[in-house]
Structure formats: structure tokens, C-alpha cells
Amino acid sequence: MIKFLDLKEINAQYESELKAACARVIDSGWYILGSEVTAFEESFAKYCGTEYAIGVANGLDALTLTLRAWKELGKLKDGDGVIVPANTYIASILAITENNLMPVLVEPDEQSYNLSKSNILAAMNDNVKAILPVHLYGRISPMSEIMKIADEFNLLVLEDCAQSHGAELSEKKCGNWGHAGAFSFYPGKNLGALGDAGAITTNDTELAETIIALRNYGSHKKYENIYQGVNSRLDEIQAAMLSVKLKYLDSETEARRLVARKYRTEINSEFISLSGDVSSESEHAYHLFVIETPYRERFEAHLKQYGIQYVIHYPIPPHHQKAYSTLMGDVSLPLTENIHNNILSLPISPVMSEEEVNQVITACNSFRLEE
């Protein structure tokens, strides 16, 4: 059996360091908003090249609290439109609707699965006040074009970096292109904690201060509340785990790119298409390796026969979810719907052996329609 993602093996590589870090927190007697969180925030900001990184409870909160902070600062108001790719994970949309903002669903570029300049411009209207590009599957969106549009139309940009830790364009990392970036450190993400965790990156001091208050009951100073905040703190243990794992993020990403490179050069089935080439490998952190096939059900059966785990990211697009049946039940997004019907994610991880990668390639290349 080839696992889709072997988390146990990934974390086992750092077992002694993780246990030592855990013991350090236990022995410190300080468990919430202490030196571990501050240290991780500093090193993650440095990694991303931003002024600030603010730890929060998870990736959804990182998105939600950033939009909320812009509302508190008077930069967004109820009903404002937020452009977002229609094929994203539901969390990107939930953060918008949670804040009483209006998702403006945009079809993605078919090759990159991300927002494109022309699709954004086609969706633009006077109500749009922000863009939420999602660097889906690990590939950074065309950020320099997106920032040009944002400048021209005076829009805020929040990058959803939950799948793209370390991906960069022109040597500038994701999370440092927009006015803010939201990260998830869910265990299965490229930088994964051993529980839930998230962070916001930004170079905007006012935004950072507002989020720092919002994540902690709306308070800067104990028992003085300036906002009706929430409890969305990153805890000390998870921050300590993340500080260990951040040191290995780049080498893990390189290992993922190696797997992807092999898939790209060696998968050659006429029934399977791989998404578009990247101009530079550094654009893609390969959180997922997604293929498309119009024969998905048959391909799934074939992979099962070969003992290869796969996942579909995602089987139902947000506009077809019951949760959004009132808001977007009659929206038609043929491109997005087609993507959701044809995609499938092959195993990819920093701990896959060459032998395992070869087995996946063999399975792909032996796929026939008549079996």
C-alpha cells in the first residue's frame, strides 16, 4: 500500500527534537502566548520576508480575522465583494461569508487552477473591494499582475497561503505579495503542526496590531477590550513544534519537487493530463500533485488495484455545497465544475521513496480504458 501522505513518518524524522521542544514547554510552566509563540512568529516572518507574522488557532481563523480586522479598520464594510477562485477549498469562502462580505466566484485558469488577470477583470464591478487569491495545490498565483489590478482599482489583497508555504515568484515568497497572507499549519499541510495552528503575515503595522487584539478577545491589555474579539491563539506547544519543523521546510519542499519532477517527466498516459508547466520550480511548493482524467472512476479502480492511495481535492465545489444553496445555488461555473469532476491527487510527500514514486508512475502508465 502506498500511502497518500505518511504523517507519522514525516514527523518521525524529527522525533527527538520535537520531544525535546515539547518537554521544554511543559517544564516552562507557561502555555499560552509566551516565548515560543513570539519566537515562531519572528522566525516565520523572517522566512516569508514580512515585517510581521501573527500566530492564530488555524488557517480558517487566519483568513477570517484578517478580513475582520479590515472591517474594524473601516477598510471593508458589510456587503463588499471579495473576488475568490470558485474552485478553492471551502475555508476561503467561509472566511468571506463569516464577515458578511460577498464572495465573487471567479473561474480559475485551466492550466494553473489559480486566478488569472483576465478572469479577475471580467468579474470586476463597483462592489468589489478585495481579492482573495488562493495558491491552490501549492502553486503561487500571478501575484504581480494581481497587485497591479489591486493598485488600479484600490483593492485589498489577502493571499490564501494554506497550501503554498515557501512558494515564490521573482524571489518574493507567498504571504509577502498581498496586503496580508493567511497560512494554515494543519498537520497535513507542507508546514504542519501536531494539531491545529495558523498565522497571518503582513507588512502593515496597523493591521498586525488589530489582529493581535482580535485573536485575544479584542484586547491589547489584559481586561481592556477594544474590539468584540475572539479566542484564536496559537498555543505554546504548537509554536514549539512549528519552530522545529520550519527549519526543515525548504528541504521537504525540495523533496516534494523531486517527486513532482519525476511524475512530470515519466507519467505519459494518453488518458491522464498533468497541469501546466511552471516557468520556475520555485513557484510551486507541490502540496498536492493533481492530475486530470475524464475517466476518473475507472482510474480510481485501477489505482486501488495497485494499492495506491489517492484523494480528490475537492469532490464538490463550494457553490454546490448545501451550506451555500441559498447564496449561490443557481450559479453556473462550467470550468470549475469540470475541474471538480476530473481531478485526482496522486501521493506526494517528502518521505516517499523512489521505489514508491516508480510504482505510482507504473500504475499511471499501465492505465487502459478496457480493463
Instruction: List residues binding ligand PLP (CB under 6 A).
Output: 58-60, 88-89, 91-92, 134, 160, 162-163, 184, 186, 196, 198
The nearer residue to ligand PLP, 216 or 232, going by C-beta atoms, is 232
Minimum distance from residue 216 beta carbon to ligand PLP (Å): 18
What's the sign of the alpha-carbon dihedral 23, 27, 31, 34? negative
Cα atoms in the Cβ-side hemisphere of radius 13 Å centred on 327? 19
The nearer residue to ligand PLP, 92 or 267, going by C-beta atoms, is 92
Minimum distance from residue 29 beta carbon to ligand PLP (Å): 28
**CA distance between the termini of the chain:** 21
The nearer residue to ligand PLP, 41 or 160, going by C-beta atoms, is 160
Minimum distance from residue 190 beta carbon to ligand PLP (Å): 10
How many other CB atoms are there within 10 angstroms of residue 127's CB atom?
Answer: 11
Q: List the grid coordinates of 31.
A: 502555555
The nearer residue to ligand PLP, 321 or 359, going by C-beta atoms, is 321
Minimum distance from residue 58 beta carbon to ligand PLP (Å): 4
Side chain identity, residue 223: Y
Minimum distance from residue 189 beta carbon to ligand PLP (Å): 6
The nearer residue to ligand PLP, 92 or 141, going by C-beta atoms, is 92
The nearer residue to ligand PLP, 81 or 198, going by C-beta atoms, is 198
Is the Cβ–Cβ distance between 257 and 284 less than 8 Å? yes
Minimum distance from residue 131 beta carbon to ligand PLP (Å): 15
Rounded (10°) CA dihedral 165, 171, 174, 180: 140
Spatial CA neighbour of 103 closest among 74, 132, 75: 132
**Strands across the sheet with 289-292, in order?**
273-274, 289-292, 343-346
- Cβ partners under 8 Å of residue 369, min gap 6: 271, 295, 298
* Cβ-closest position to ligand PLP: 59
Minimum distance from residue 301 beta carbon to ligand PLP (Å): 27
* Whole-angstrom distance, CA of residue 144 vs CA of residue 273: 28
The nearer residue to ligand PLP, 202 or 272, going by C-beta atoms, is 202
Q: List the grid coordinates of 30.
A: 507557561
**79 phi/psi in degrees, rounded to 5:** 90, -10
* Whole-angstrom distance, CA of residue 356 vs CA of residue 198: 31
Minimum distance from residue 295 beta carbon to ligand PLP (Å): 26
The nearer residue to ligand PLP, 134 or 267, going by C-beta atoms, is 134
Helix (H) or strand (E) holding 201: strand 198-202
